[in-house]
Structure 1
């Protein structure tokens, strides 16, 4: 079964679209995160949920 770990990243309304895109790109490139969900709130804040697979090494006998 595939397991994931999750990370929530919140951006305020004062941050530009390009700054948000750059931050998410850096998480994806260097941390191996993938964008799972983005929520845009009424005040303009954005919440992004990132996920990445947990690779468990199974012991062999």
Structure 2
């Protein structure tokens, strides 16, 4: 079963949808994050949880 690390991003109410999309696209493109969950809060802000897979490598013993 793959292991993931998570990061929470808070997008305030005044941020436009276009700017929020750009922010999340940058995280996905440069940090290799993918969208795990997006919550729209009552005040209009967004709470976004991103995840990326942790790749474990064993050391070579030579």
TM-score > 0.5 by shorter chain: yes
Aligned residues: 61
CA distance in 1, matches of 2:28, 2:49: 12
SS of 1:49 mapped into structure 2: strand
TM-score relative to the length of structure 1: 0.93
Which of structure 1's runs of 4+ aligned residues deviate more than 4 A? none
TM-score relative to the length of structure 2: 0.92
2:3 maps to what in 1? 3
Unaligned runs of 5+ in 1: none
